[in-house]
Structure 1
Amino acid sequence: MTLRTIKPGNRGYLYVNSHPTGCSTVVDHLWQQIPEPADDRPGPVALVIGSSAGYGLAATLVGLRAHRMRGLGIAFEAPATERRTAGAGWYRTARTAELAAEAGADFTFLNGDAFSDGVKEEAADRIAARFGKVDLLIYSVAAPRRTDPVTGEVHHSVIKPLGSDYRAKTLVFEDGTPRIGELHLQIADEAERDATVQVMGGADWQLWVDALQSRGLLADGFRTVALSYVGSDITAPVYRAGTIGAAKQHLEDTARTLNTRLDGAGHAYTVVAGAAVTQASTAIPSIALYTSILHRVTGDGWQTTVDQAAELWSRLSGDAEPDLDDQDRIRLDDWEMNPRVQTAVRAMWDRIDAETMDTRADTGWFREQVGRLYGWDVPGVDYEAEAETAVPWPASPWPASPSSGV
Structure 2
Amino acid sequence: MTERVITPRHRGFLFLDSHPAGCRRLVEDMWQAAVPGPAATPTGDGPVALVIGSSAGYGLAATIAGLRRVGIRGIGVCFEKGPSERRTATAGWYRTAATAELATQAGHDMVFLNGDAFADEMKDQVADLLKQRFGGRLDHLIYSVAAPRRTDPDTGALYASVLKPIGQAHRTKTLVFDDQGVGEIKEVETQPAAGDDIEQTVAVMGGADWERWIDHLADRGLLADGFSTAALSYIGSPLTAAIYRHGTIGTAKAHLEATARTLTERLEKLVGGRAVTSVNGAAVTQSSTAIPGIALYVGLLRGVLGEGLVPPLAQLTDLWDQLTGARPLGLDDEGRVRLDTWELAPEVQTAVAERWQAATTDTIAHLADLDWFHAEVQRLYGFAVPGVDYTAPVATDVPWPRHAS
What TM-score, normalized to structure 1? 0.96
Whole-angstrom CA distance in 1 between matches of 2:2 and 2:359: 47
Whole-angstrom CA distance in 2 between matches of 1:54 and 1:185: 25
Partner of 1:147: 151
Give the Å deviation of 1:106.
1.3
Check conservation: 1:34, 1:65, Cα contact below 8 A: yes
Partner of 2:172: 168
Give the Å deviation of 1:377.
0.8
Whole-angstrom CA distance in 1 between matches of 2:373 and 2:333: 33
Check conservation: 1:11, 1:174, Cα contact below 8 A: no
Q: For each residue in 1:108-129, what CA deviation from the matched residue of structure 2 results, as whole angstroms up to 9, or x when unmatched?
A: 1100100001000000000011
Bigger shift: 76-85 or 170-179? Answer: 170-179
Check conservation: 1:289, 1:363, Cα contact below 8 A: no
Of residues 202, 206, 215, the one that matches 2:211 is 206
Whole-angstrom CA distance in 1 between matches of 2:319 and 2:224: 20
Structure 2 gaps, min length 5: none
Whole-angstrom CA distance in 2 between matches of 1:8 and 1:202: 36
Whole-angstrom CA distance in 1 between matches of 2:347 and 2:47: 38
Give the Å deviation of 1:4.
1.4
Q: SS in structure 1 opposite 2:240?
A: coil
Check conservation: 1:62, 1:310, Cα contact below 8 A: yes
Q: For each residue in 1:363-401, what CA deviation from the matched residue of structure 2 results, as whole angstroms up to 9, or x when unmatched?
A: 22111101000001111111111111110000012x2xx
Give the Å deviation of 1:174.
4.3
Counterparts in 2 of 1:279-290, with a 5 A limit? 279-290=286-297
Partner of 1:404: none
Give the Å deviation of 1:15.
0.6
Q: SS in structure 1 opposite 2:274?
A: strand
Give the Å deviation of 1:43.
2.3
Instruction: Say whether 1:299 aligns with 2:306.
Output: yes
Q: For each residue in 1:146-198, what CA deviation from the matched residue of structure 2 results, as whole angstroms up to 9, or x when unmatched?
A: 11111111111110100111011100124342100001011011411111111
Partner of 1:327: 334
Of residues 380, 387, 390, the one that matches 1:380 is 387
Aligned-residue identity in percent: 56
Partner of 1:38: 38
Whole-angstrom CA distance in 2 between matches of 1:26 and 1:3: 20
Check conservation: 2:18, 2:91, Cα contact below 8 A: yes
1:199 corresponds to which letter in structure 2? V
Check conservation: 2:264, 2:275, Cα contact below 8 A: yes
Bigger shift: 362-371 or 200-209? Answer: 362-371
2:173 corresponds to which letter in structure 1? K
Partner of 2:351: 344
Structure 1 gaps, min length 5: 400-406
Partner of 1:20: 20
RMSD: 1.0
User: How many residues are matched?
Assistant: 398
Q: SS in structure 1 opposite 2:139?
A: strand
Counterparts in 2 of 1:224-239, with a 5 A limit? 224-239=229-244
Whole-angstrom CA distance in 2 between matches of 1:222 and 1:331: 20
Whole-angstrom CA distance in 1 between matches of 2:125 and 2:372: 40
Of residues 68, 74, 79, the one that matches 2:77 is 74
Check conservation: 1:65, 1:103, Cα contact below 8 A: no
Partner of 2:99: 96
Whole-angstrom CA distance in 1 between matches of 2:268 and 2:138: 17
2:351 corresponds to which letter in structure 1? A
Counterparts in 2 of 1:120-131, with a 5 A limit? 120-131=123-134
